[in-house]
Amino acid sequence: MQVQNIERPYVHVSELLTEKAAGLNLQVIAGKEGLANRIHFPKIQKPGLALTGFTQYVRPGRVQIFGESELAYLKQLDQSRREEVLKQLYSIDIACSIVTRGQQPLPEMIHEAEVHRIPLMVTPHVTSDCIEKITAFLSDLLAPKTYLHADLLDVFGLGVLLIGESGIGKSECALDLIVRGHRLVSDDIVIIKKTTDKVLIGRAPDLIRYHMELRGLGVINIKDLFGISAISLAQKIQLVVSLERWKPDVEYDRLGLEESTYEVLAVELPLVRMPVAPGRNIAILIEVASRNYLLRTQGYNASKQLIDKIDEIAADPTVK
């Protein structure tokens, strides 16, 4: 198993103000000293019961949204009670707070934001749009991420991750697949993000995108050599092929009944162990492995059907 460098992601509040998040149209009203605060969760929170003093479920490191109903509730409180609940809320180390619909924040909110160095911002968007935009923006940036020394290709629309020890021939095999009409996502280093519980998306680091390094030849640009159709910016990873040096004393699966897996970010991916030896065309074998996987996802398993047929003949020799 290869070592995976897993990052615990976070986003600084200031990133909500960048061009990438321009659609949020946020304006900082108070607490600018807290723009370096970290956001650890993509899901935002609305204060809700916290405005009554029940703050048990308010999570530090999250974005708090104040819509019309929250401000209306706060306005009907007497000033001392309003000061009390807002002080309690802003003491929890929330990442930042956002007021929607372009409403004017209450003076007590501005005061607590300054005291606790928690950015208080205003957006012209309605609450539902604001939540949708922020969640989409943060979900992408905060997705669990890891880096693997591997190659990733699009083979028949299937994301195939090639792993194996250095020098085993991953890049050469990837190049052979590209020549055969398949697409390169990344060579040597693959950035993998977990977008949902079971979905992993791989892409290349910006610096080496489109490039491949081949021993004896150097660095080549796949996009320039083969055209735009030979590359893909990102791909869902569905199959892992492990290239391994052929060892005569190792018993390899000959029937395809073994179902091995490879774990990445707590997601189990189907694994095919591919022995590498002189005379074996690994690119063709990977194409066949990909086609075979696609057939299995449709319910067809050649190995199982053969075994079932053998069992049927063994039970009744008259069966042909």
**Which residues are CB-neighbours of 236 under 8 A, at least 6 positions away?**
159, 199, 200, 201, 202
Active site residue 20: no
- The b-or-e profile of 62-90 (16+ CB within 10 A means b, else e) is bbbbbbeebbebbeebeeeebbebbebbb
8 Å CB contact between 145 and 191: yes
Q: How many CA atoms lie within 13 A of 56 on its CB side?
A: 1
Distance of CA 62 to the CA centre of its chain: 20
8 Å CB contact between 39 and 14: no
Helix (H) or strand (E) holding 235: strand 234-245
Distance of CA 139 to the CA centre of its chain: 9
CA atoms of 147 and 137, how far apart (whole Å): 21
* Type of residue at 203: R
Active site residue 170: yes
Among residues 87, 117, 149, 296, which one is catalytic?
Answer: 149
Among residues 8, 75, 215, 254, which one is catalytic?
Answer: 254
Among residues 154, 183, 188, 211, which one is catalytic?
Answer: 188
Active site residue 188: yes
* Widest CA span in the chain: 92
Active site residue 149: yes
Among residues 170, 182, 183, 211, which one is catalytic?
Answer: 170
DSSP string, 41-80: -SS-B--GGGGGT--TTPPTTSEEEE-HHHHHHHHTS-HH
User: Active-site residues: which are they?
Assistant: 149, 170, 188, 254
